[in-house]
A = this chain, B = another copy of it.
Amino acid sequence: MTRTRVHAICPSALLVDLYELTMMQAYWAHGIAGSATFDLFVRRLPPSRNFLLAVGLETAVELLAGTRFTADDLEYLSATGLFDRGFLDELGSFRFTGDVDAMAEGTVAFAREPVLRVTAPLLEAQFFESVLMNQFHVQTLLASKAARVVLAAGGRRVVDFGMRRMHGVDSAVAGARAYWVAGLDGTSNVLAGELYGIPIVGTMAHSFVQCHSSELDAFRAFAATYPETVLLVDTYDTLQGVEHVIELARELGDAFRVRGIRLDSGDLLELSRAARQRLDAAGLGQVRIFASGNLDEHRVSELVGGGAPIDAFGVGTRLGTSEDAPNLDLVYKLAQLDGRPLLKLSTDKATLPGIKQVWRRVDDQGRFAGDVIGLAGETLDGVPLLEPVMRHGARVREPADALAAARQRAAEQLAALPKSVRGLEPAEPPYPVEVSPALAECARQVSAGLAD
């Protein structure tokens, strides 16, 4: 049922920042064609994040493997007057021939750790900077926020209602996939359901109630079409809405199979208690309570902590725009060229040189104990996180079900985080990430060389 394409965007080779193309032409003009290694990593975590959940690799592979310039693309570039015919001919046969090593989707990652490493001829590696960043950024951003909501819900169901206020269609569709990796249980986004096989959810809006002469009439009509549905009770007055559900149950008797009610406004703690009490008193203990409306991980945590009898949460805008931290300091930086480790020293933006690997140590209880960023050639304790993904432009092996594996991995990794890192408040101390002595020495030497 699910399609193979992993995103809903129309790919185009023009999804690139102009400076990539102008640099490429300059490299081409000057015969600079070495093998370059770029790292994709987040420089600093937002203060309100203790960890990231790396998502974006499947889109990245599709973009790397599939990007071609069309005749229309080249015609547009030619018309800009910036490019030589010879360089445009080069672009006409452009394809990615390099290697990619990356953390599998659903891996927990921290600041400074490369989540993806591209080694390829310089022109190719440079070309993909902006589009790889664009996709990893939004998918990792949304997965990382979603993981917090899942942890806050403590096992209660969480579903995605965010499409309407997420930033465009691509964000909504790729975001629903990222949420699924992070552990959400469903999405209202039908296209994401079709593309990725995610369970789709949703029943009715306020407008359905408004279209009927009374709320009870609306409930009668909806339950007639969908007997096992969830009824939205807050269009006019929430507890009156609950009474209308109870009235419907009396009318229908054994034919009443409504699964739940949804509260979408007001004080959700108080209203859920009052609704539960009334439903139980009416012998409707099987009717679940679903809550939505301006929810995020903090609000969910408060409701769960306050003992609200809420069985499932619908989360939309605050998750969908990662409201408290709407961007990550994600970068794609040159680390090596033709065997020569490189770095930049720009104020507050210094990078680590060389071809790197990340090792994660796990303690006796299976809990993550600390990471080390080192040079790929080193032998260090722990599990290496960057795995071969592409070689010579081709995927190393197509995973049988990459999405299911990523979801499973994320669940295991979140469970293995130290408790303070898994919590909503800033972890003190933060999760330990060290730089290996060999990498630190390499950085020192490269810096010293630049200072000369």
Contact = CB atoms under 8 A, between A and B. Distances in A.
Interface string A66-79: 00000001001101
A62 to B, nearest CB: 12
A184 interface: no
Number of identical protomers? 2
Contacts of A190: 14-18, 21, 77
Chain A interface size range: 35 or more
B235 A346 contact: yes
A164 B17 contact: yes
Given A207-B333, A234-B346, A169 B15 contact: yes
Given A12-B191, A17-B163, A18-B200, A135 B168 contact: yes
Nearest to A160: B17
B334 A323 contact: no
B450 A208 contact: no
Interface string A307-350: 00000000001101111001110101110010000111111110
Interface string A12-51: 1011111111110111011010101010000000000000
A383 interface: no
Contacts of A175: 167-168
A189 interface: yes
Nearest to A163: B130
A173 B167 CA distance: 11
A77 to B, nearest CB: 8
A166 interface: yes
B326 A322 contact: yes
Interface of A: 1, 8-10, 12, 14-23, 25-27, 29-30, 32, 34, 36, 38, 73, 76-77, 79-80, 82, 122, 126, 129-131, 133-135, 137-138, 141, 161, 163-175, 188-191, 193-194, 200-212, 221-222, 224-226, 229, 234-238, 264-266, 317-318, 320-323, 326-328, 330, 332-334, 337, 342-349, 450
25 contacts: A8-B10, A8-B15, A9-B169, A15-B173, A17-B161, A17-B163, A18-B190, A19-B203, A22-B229, A23-B204, A26-B222, A27-B211, A36-B207, A36-B211, A80-B193, A130-B188, A138-B167, A138-B171, A165-B327, A168-B174, A168-B175, A170-B170, A236-B346, A317-B327, A320-B327
